[in-house]
């Protein structure tokens, strides 16, 4: 038997009492209505309403989740406005004040950065040769990554001095320490070594952006140091005077 669609809303609205009966319309107007007991009628209505045709316009699970979320937010704000002096207006004033404080702190302190270690080291990965550092520097330079290029070139400078035994290989050495030690062996290049160490620290730890000129100057220093001969202990002062002249 096919149940007429007009009866279904009435089926849902009927009170669930022991004496309730459901009158379903038959297909023909000239046929008498059919009276069913409560439980069979409820089961028939459940089966009928479970059909897909009645759920085509139901909201999706995402819509239901969003509605539940916004209901929760509305309840939360309502409870907060009730507990806040001044009601909703007081809550708005508090929120604006908190945002203003956060903005002031952001402007005063700047973007949070991870604090560098007390003595930033020059090498922080596996040991590599000067040639490997130079190749990495040139690869970064070819792509315009000047920050990485400067760092790798400075590492190449220090590693090359270690390979020539002008510096003792020492883990944990900083760029400033390397420049100071190398300056004693190559006094004519002391100032350029200090400048290179400062550029490395500014880029690596100071947040400064390197330029192509910075990298080219460091690369030129690397080439000059390769051709430089270490000064003897007695000629350090003469070499410094010659570099100044």
What pLDDT digit, counting tens, does each position of 56-81 carry?
677 777 888 888 888 887 777 777 66
Closest alpha carbon to 41 in 19, 15, 26, 21: 21
My answer on whether 140 and 195 are in the same domain is: yes
Contact 210, 147 (CB under 8 A): yes
28 and 49 both lie in a single domain: yes
* pLDDT for position 59: 73
Q: What angle do CA 191, 196, 199 make, to 5 degrees?
A: 125
Q: Encode pLDDT of 98-137 as tens digits.
A: 788 788 777 766 655 544 444 455 665 667 888 999 999 9
Report yes or no on 93 lying in a domain: yes
- How many separate domains does the chain show? 3
Co-location of 206 and 228 in the same domain = yes
Whether 25 is covered by a domain: the verdict is yes
Same domain (yes/no): 142, 176: yes
- For 39-53, b/e burial (b = at least 16 CB within 10 A) is eebbebbeebeeeee
Residue ranges making up the domain that contains 67 = 61-109
75 and 177 share one domain: no
Residues 147, 237, single domain; the answer is yes
pLDDT at 152 over 90: yes
User: Which of 127, 156, 142, 147 shows the shortest CA–CA distance to 219?
Assistant: 156
Dihedral angle sign, alpha carbons of residues 80, 83, 88, 94? negative
Instruction: Decide if 115 is inside a domain.
Output: no
Phi-psi category of residue 135: left, alpha or beta, with phi > 0 → left and psi -120 to 50 → alpha: alpha
Residues 191 and 208 in one domain: yes
191 and 240 together in one domain: yes
CA distance 228 to 20: 108
Q: What is the mean pLDDT of the segment spanning 201-223?
A: 92
For residue 78, being part of any structural domain is answered with yes
C-beta of residue 90 within 8 angstroms of C-beta of residue 81: yes
Same domain, 150 and 211: yes
Share of the chain above pLDDT 90, in %: 31
Is there a single domain that holds both residue 148 and residue 49?
no
Whether 121 is in a domain gets the answer no
What whole-number distance in Å separates Cα of residue 24 and Cα of residue 10? 10
Place of tokens 């005063």: 108
H-helix or E-strand spanning residue 71: helix 61-83
Query: What pLDDT is recorded for position 61?
Result: 79
């Amino acid at each position: 038997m096919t149940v007429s669609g007009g009866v279904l809303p009435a089926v849902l609205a009927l009170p669930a009492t022991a004496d309730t009966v459901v009158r379903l319309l038959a297909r023909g107007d000239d046929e008498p209505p059919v009276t069913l007991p409560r439980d069979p009628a409820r089961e028939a209505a459940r089966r009928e309403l479970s059909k897909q045709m009645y759920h085509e316009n139901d909201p999706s699970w995402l819509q239901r989740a969003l509605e539940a979320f916004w209901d929760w937010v509305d309840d939360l704000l309502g409870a907060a406005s009730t507990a806040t002096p001044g009601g909703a207006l007081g809550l708005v004033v508090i929120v604006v004040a908190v945002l203003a404080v956060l903005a002031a702190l952001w402007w005063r302190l700047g973007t949070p950065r991870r604090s560098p270690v007390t003595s930033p080291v020059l090498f922080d990965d596996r040991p590599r040769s000067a040639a490997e550092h130079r190749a990495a520097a040139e690869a970064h330079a070819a792509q315009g990554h000047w920050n990485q290029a400067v760092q790798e070139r400075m590492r190449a400078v220090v590693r090359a001095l270690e390979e020539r035994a002008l510096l003792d290989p020492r883990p944990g050495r900083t760029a400033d320490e390397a420049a100071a030690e190398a300056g004693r062996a190559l006094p004519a290049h002391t100032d350029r070594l200090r400048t290179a160490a400062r550029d490395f620290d500014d880029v690596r730890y100071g947040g400064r952006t390197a330029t192509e000129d910075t990298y080219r100057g460091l690369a030129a220093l690397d080439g000059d140091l390769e051709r430089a001969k270490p000064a003897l202990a007695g000629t350090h002062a003469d070499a410094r005077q010659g570099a100044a002249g």
